[in-house]
Amino acid sequence: MSTIQTPGSHSEPLLQLTSVSRHFGGLKVLQDVNLAVPKSGIFGLIGPNGAGKTTVFNLITGLLPTTSGTILFDGQDLAGRKPFQITRGGIARTFQNIRVFKEMSLLENVIVGMDAHLRYGPFGLLAGTRVFRSEERRARERARELLSWVKLDHKAGELADNLSYGDQRKLELARALATEPRLLLLDEPVAGMNSTEKLDLMREIENIAARGYTVFMIEHDMRFVMGLCEQIAVLNFGRIIARGGPEAIRNDPQVIEAYLGREDDEATTEGATA
């Protein structure tokens, strides 16, 4: 089975999973997962509930260790690295449930994401040294720039709690980008959004990818995935069952049976009971 690659691309992948498995006691959540994500572009991982998608992200970001197999990021083995080390190394993540600091301003939320890259220590913070003042000014400028990328700079001083659901999602994106990642992992970014918010976020993700970031996303909304991702992998019962472009995935018999067909069945059932 081939790895995910853009047409004509022969460069080393940015992220590579080789024979990755994760077991919880006797439960085999992931089994021999092989996945390669090239540098740049937007890639998707889909599959039914319980297929193991979020576990893949948890392994990549160091929240869980692998049972077996290797995960390489830009050629470096991530085994044994703590989550903060992986973040500093260039991988950022958003979560299914929004995790913004609601009692902080938008600007402060984004600055929090820069912590690993600021050059002042505790002494500089307490003493208000020249380096601290310079870094603080730089952090605020960068935070405003990132907020402008997601069109929230006009609300920089507002509390995050005052934002709409869709804007809180965009704030999460800006804060993740503040860690200066090369790989951005999005875990169900449009969960709970209405159609207008989804379309708006789709444009923002496209803009982020156009700036040179690699985006790797998990999502249940098939229209969103098919309209945004260049390449898609499908996970079912812990195994990759298909890889390819949106059209190939849409027409793959295994995918239709395992995932798309399930949605159709549910829709038919709902229609019959309405």
Segment 150-162, tens digit of pLDDT: 999 999 999 999 9
Question: Can you tell me the mean pLDDT for 17-29?
Answer: 94
DSSP 105: B
In the structure, what pLDDT confidence band is assigned to residue 125 with cuts at 50, 70 and 90?
Answer: very low
- The answer to whether the beta carbons of residues 190 and 168 sit under 8 Å apart is no
What phi and psi, each to the nearest 5 degrees, are found at residue 231? -135, 150
In the structure, what pLDDT confidence band is assigned to residue 240 with cuts at 50, 70 and 90?
Answer: very high
CA distance 128 to 125: 5
Query: How would you class 208 by CB atoms within 10 Å of its CB: exposed for 0-12, middle for 13-18, buried for 19 or more?
Result: buried
User: Could you tell me how many residues make up the chain?
Assistant: 274
Q: What is the pLDDT of residues 60-114, one digit of tens each?
A: 999 999 999 999 999 999 999 999 999 999 999 998 888 888 899 999 999 888 8
Instruction: Give the closest residue to 180 by CA, choosing from 239, 131, 139.
Output: 139
Q: Mean pLDDT of all residues in the chain?
A: 84
Structure token pair of residue 220: 């249940």
- Cα dist from 253 to 32, 239, 248, whole Å: 21, 16, 10
3-state DSSP assignment of residue 9: coil
Instruction: Give the closest residue to 229 by CA, choosing from 83, 89, 85, 42.
Output: 42
CATH number at 15-99+180-273: 3.40.50.300
pTM listed for this prediction: 0.83
Structure token pair of residue 116: 């690993």
In the structure, what pLDDT confidence band is assigned to residue 132 with cuts at 50, 70 and 90?
Answer: low
Sign of the torsion angle spanned by Cα atoms 255, 261, 263, 264: positive
What phi and psi, each to the nearest 5 degrees, are found at residue 89? -75, -10
**pLDDT over 90 percentage in the chain:** 64
- Domain spans of the chain, in order of start: 15-99+180-273, 101-162
pLDDT surpassing 80 at residue 226 = yes
